[in-house]
Amino acid sequence: MNEFVIALGWAGLYGVMALSAIGSIIGCAVAGQAAIGAMVDTESGYGRYIGISVMPSSQVIYGIVVMFTLQRPVTPETGPALFGIGLFAGLALMMSAVRQGQACASAIHASKTKPEIFGLSLAPAAIVEGFAVFAFVFALVMAGGIPG
């Protein structure tokens, strides 16, 4: 039983980074595809489309920081906490990145038709980023309470 708890601890420790990376991959791909489509339809402003399409990559950075924060000896006492924090923070960051990619894709589509709303169209993506920051801070605070 102790080996299983230790394995869960390791899964949580590295899972947060893996899950956030998966979300960032999907989010950047969705927004990137929208950026490519917008570049075909417009004559200028390509840089801003590419810039928007990388916004979901921040979640993998949060995941890496949480992973390093969680690093400590994995024991039967620390394993459940590492697993819980890593799994749920990772899932939150993953979903945030996916949804942010979709919000960025919508912003790209809207701003290619109406360039004057470019800044305002980024508000939903920024709000989603805020939720990623909440999950990130929560994971850091909770990690501080794990012994070791």
pLDDT tens digit sequence for 8-26: 999 999 999 999 999 999 9
pLDDT of residue 10: 96
pLDDT of residue 47: 83
Question: Is residue 129 pLDDT above 80, yes or no?
Answer: yes
**What span, in angstroms and rounded, lies between the C-alpha atoms of 115 and 84?**
44
Residue 131 structural domain: 2-143
pLDDT of residue 107: 95
41 falls within a domain: yes
71 falls within a domain: yes
Question: Is residue 44 pLDDT above 90, yes or no?
Answer: no
CATH number of the domain to which 86 belongs: 1.20.120.610
**What span, in angstroms and rounded, lies between the C-alpha atoms of 147 and 60?**
25
**What span, in angstroms and rounded, lies between the C-alpha atoms of 93 and 119?**
24
pTM for the whole structure: 0.93
pLDDT of residue 91: 98
Count of domains forming the chain:
1
118 falls within a domain: yes
148 falls within a domain: no
* Chain mean pLDDT for the chain: 95
Residues constituting the chain: 148
127 falls within a domain: yes
